[in-house]
Amino acid sequence: MLLRHTPKEIKEREALVVNPAKTCQPIGAMYAALGIHGCLPHSHGSQGCCSYHRSTLTRHYKEPIMAGTSSFTEGASVFGGQANLLEAIHNIFTIYNPDVIAVHTTCLSETIGDDIHQIANKAREEGKIPKGKFVIHASTPSYVGSHVTGFANMTKGMVEYFAEKNGTKLNQLNIIPGFVEPSDMREIKRIANAMGVKIVMFPDTSGVVDTPQTGKFNMFPKGGVTINELKSTGNSFATIALGQLASGPAAKLLDSKFKIQCEIHSLPIGLTATDRFIDSLRKLGGVSVPDSISDERGRLIDAIADMHQYLYGKKVALVGDPDQLVSLTEFLVTLDMKPVHIVTGTPGQKFESRIKEIVKDKVPNVNVKASGDMFLLHQWIKNEKVDLIMGNTYCKYIARDEDIPYIRFGFPIMDRIGHSYFPTVGYMGSLRLVEKILDALMDRKDRDSKEESFELVM
Amino acid sequence: MIKILEERKEQVFNKGKDSFEISCDKKSASGSVSQRACVFCGSRVVLYPIADALHIVHGPVGCAVYTWDIRGALSSGPELHRLSFSTDLTEIDIIHGAEKKLYESLIGLIDYYKPNACFVYSTCIIGVIGDDVEAVCKKVSNEKFIPVIPVHSEGFKGTKKDGYKAACEALFKLIGTGSANDVGKFSINILGDFNIAGEIWVIKEYYKRMGIEVVSAMTGDGRVNEIKKAHGAKLNVVQCSGSMTTLAKMMKEKYGIPFIRVSYFGIDDMANALYDVAKFFGDANILENTKKLVKEEILKIMPEINFYKEKLQGKKAAIYVGGAFKAISLIKALRLLGMETVVVGTQTGNKDDYNDIKDIALEGTIIVDDTNPLELSKFIKEKDVSLLIGGVKERPIAYKLGIGFCDHNHERKEALAGFIGMLNFAKEVYGTVLSPVWEFIPRK
Q: Which CATH architecture has domain A25-161?
A: 3-Layer(aba) Sandwich (3.40)
User: Which residues of chain A neighbour B86 with C-beta distances below 8 Å?
Assistant: 16-17, 20
Please give the CATH topology (third level) of the domain spanning B39-174. Rossmann fold (3.40.50)
Please give the CATH topology (third level) of the domain spanning B313-412. Rossmann fold (3.40.50)
With b meaning 16 or more CB within 10 Å and e meaning fewer, what string describes B136-167? Answer: bbebbbeebebbbbbbbbbbbbbbbbbbbbbb
CA B125 – CA B17 distance, rounded (Å): 45
Compute the count of residue pairs across chains A and B with CB atoms less than 8 Å apart: 252
Q: What is the mean pLDDT of the segment spanning B180-207?
A: 96
Is the CB of B36 inside 8 Å of chain A's CB atoms? yes
B290, B315 contact by CB (below 8 A): no
A348, A288 contact by CB (below 8 A): no
Is the CB of B89 inside 8 Å of chain A's CB atoms? yes
Nearest partner of B44 among B131, B169, B163, judged by Cα: B163
Interface contact flag, B64 A20, Cβ < 8 Å: yes
Handedness of CA B264, B266, B269, B270 (dihedral sign): positive
CATH 3.30.230.10 fits B187-292, yes or no: no
Report pLDDT for B373. Answer: 87
Confidence of residue B442 (pLDDT cuts 50, 70, 90): confident
Handedness of CA B425, B75, B226, B409 (dihedral sign): positive
Confidence of residue B24 (pLDDT cuts 50, 70, 90): confident
Torsion angle in degrees (nearest 10) through CA of B93, B94, B99, B104: 30
Is the CB of B95 inside 8 Å of chain A's CB atoms? no
User: Which residues of chain A neighbour B101 with C-beta distances below 8 Å?
Assistant: 15-16
Is the CB of B16 inside 8 Å of chain A's CB atoms? no
CA B15 – CA B1 distance, rounded (Å): 20
- pLDDT per residue as tens digits for the range A225-250: 999 999 999 999 999 999 999 999 99
User: Which residues of chain A neighbour B392 with C-beta distances below 8 Å?
Assistant: 55, 58-59
Instruction: List strands edge to edge, sheet with A68-69.
Output: A68-69, A39-44, A100-105, A134-138
Q: What is the mean pLDDT of the segment spanning B117-142?
A: 96
Helices (H), B337-439: 351-360, 373-382, 395-401, 418-433
Q: Which residues pair with A318 in a beta bridge?
A: A342, A390
Report pLDDT for B444. Answer: 53
CA B179 – CA B10 distance, rounded (Å): 49
**Chosen from B30, B87, B99, B399 to mutate, greatest number of chain A CBs within 10 A:** B30
Structural element, H or E, at residue A44: strand A39-44
Strand locations in B127-197 (E): 148-151, 187-193
B419, B437 contact by CB (below 8 A): no
Q: Which residues pair with A42 in a beta bridge?
A: A68, A103
What is the C-alpha radius of gyration for chain B, rounded to an integer number of angstroms? Answer: 22
Please give the CATH topology (third level) of the domain spanning A173-291. Rossmann fold (3.40.50)
More confident residue, B169 or B22: B169
**Residue A323 identity:** D
User: Which residues of chain A neighbour B82 with C-beta distances below 8 Å?
Assistant: 3
A157, A136 contact by CB (below 8 A): yes
Q: Which residues pair with B203 in a beta bridge?
A: none
Where exactly are the structural domains of chain A? Answer: 25-161, 173-291, 293-452
User: Which residues of chain B neighbour A55 with C-beta distances below 8 Å?
Assistant: 66, 70, 392-393
Q: What is the mean pLDDT of the segment spanning A315-323?
A: 98
CA B47 – CA B164 distance, rounded (Å): 9
Nearest CA in chain A to B3: A95
- For chain B, where do the domains classified as CATH 3.40.50.1980 start and end? 39-174, 187-292, 313-412
CA B361 – CA B342 distance, rounded (Å): 8
Nearest CA in chain A to B106: A16
Structural element, H or E, at residue B273: helix B267-281
Nearest CA in chain B to A101: B31
Nearest partner of B275 among B299, B264, B261, B291, judged by Cα: B291
Report pLDDT for A17. Answer: 95
Report pLDDT for B95. Answer: 93
- pLDDT per residue as tens digits for the range B211-270: 999 999 999 999 999 999 999 999 999 997 778 999 999 999 999 999 999 999 999 999
CA A375 – CA A371 distance, rounded (Å): 12
Burial of residue A310 (number of CB atoms within 10 Å: 0-12, 13-18, 19+): middle
Q: Point out the residue among A23, A94, A108 whose CB comes nearest to the CB of B128.
A: A108
Phi/psi region, residue A254 (left: phi>0; alpha: psi -120 to 50; beta: rest), is: alpha
Q: What is the mean pLDDT of the segment spanning B414-424?
A: 95
Helices (H), A196-316: 227-232, 244-258, 271-285, 291-311
Confidence of residue A1 (pLDDT cuts 50, 70, 90): very low
Interface contact flag, B94 A111, Cβ < 8 Å: yes
Q: Point out the residue among B60, B62, B87 whose CB comes nearest to the CB of A15.
A: B87
Structural element, H or E, at residue B174: helix B160-174
Report pLDDT for B33. Answer: 85
Q: Are strands B366-369 and B12-14 parallel, antiparallel or unpaired?
A: antiparallel
Report pLDDT for B16. Answer: 81
CA-to-CA separations, A430 to A235, A321, A331, A343, B181, in angstroms, rounded: 32, 18, 8, 21, 66
- The answer to whether residue A400 scores a pLDDT higher than 90 is yes
For B:140-179, CB contacts with A below 8 A are: 155-159
Handedness of CA A149, A152, A157, A158 (dihedral sign): positive
- The answer to whether residue B23 scores a pLDDT higher than 90 is no
Interface contact flag, A108 B155, Cβ < 8 Å: yes
Interface contact flag, A23 B442, Cβ < 8 Å: no
Q: Point out the residue among A14, A143, A216 whose CB comes nearest to the CB of B89.
A: A143
- pLDDT per residue as tens digits for the range B296-353: 999 999 999 999 999 999 999 999 988 788 899 999 999 999 999 999 998 878 888 8
Nearest partner of A42 among A2, A4, A124, A98, judged by Cα: A98
Q: Point out the residue among A16, A94, A347 whose CB comes nearest to the CB of B85.
A: A16
The CA angle A187-A189-A194, to the nearest 5 degrees, is: 95
Q: What is the mean pLDDT of the segment spanning B120-148?
A: 96
CA B19 – CA A381 distance, rounded (Å): 64
Do domains A25-161 and A293-452 share one topology? The answer is yes
Interface contact flag, A95 B61, Cβ < 8 Å: no
Report pLDDT for A89. Answer: 97
**Residue B149 identity:** I
- pLDDT per residue as tens digits for the range B75-112: 999 999 999 999 999 999 999 999 999 999 999 999 99
CA A396 – CA A399 distance, rounded (Å): 5
Nearest partner of B317 among B341, B296, B333, judged by Cα: B341
Cβ-proximal residues to B288 (8 Å cutoff; 6+ apart), any chain: none
Phi/psi region, residue A421 (left: phi>0; alpha: psi -120 to 50; beta: rest), is: alpha
Instruction: List strands edge to edge, sheet with A199-201.
Output: A199-201, A173-176, A238-242, A261-265
Interface contact flag, B124 A107, Cβ < 8 Å: yes
**DSSP three-state, residue B117:** strand
Q: Is the ipTM of this complex over 0.85?
A: yes
- pLDDT per residue as tens digits for the range A40-82: 999 999 999 999 999 999 999 999 999 999 999 888 888 899 9
What's the CATH number of domain A293-452, 3.40.50.300, 3.30.390.50, 3.40.50.1980, 1.10.10.60?
3.40.50.1980
CA A86 – CA A135 distance, rounded (Å): 11
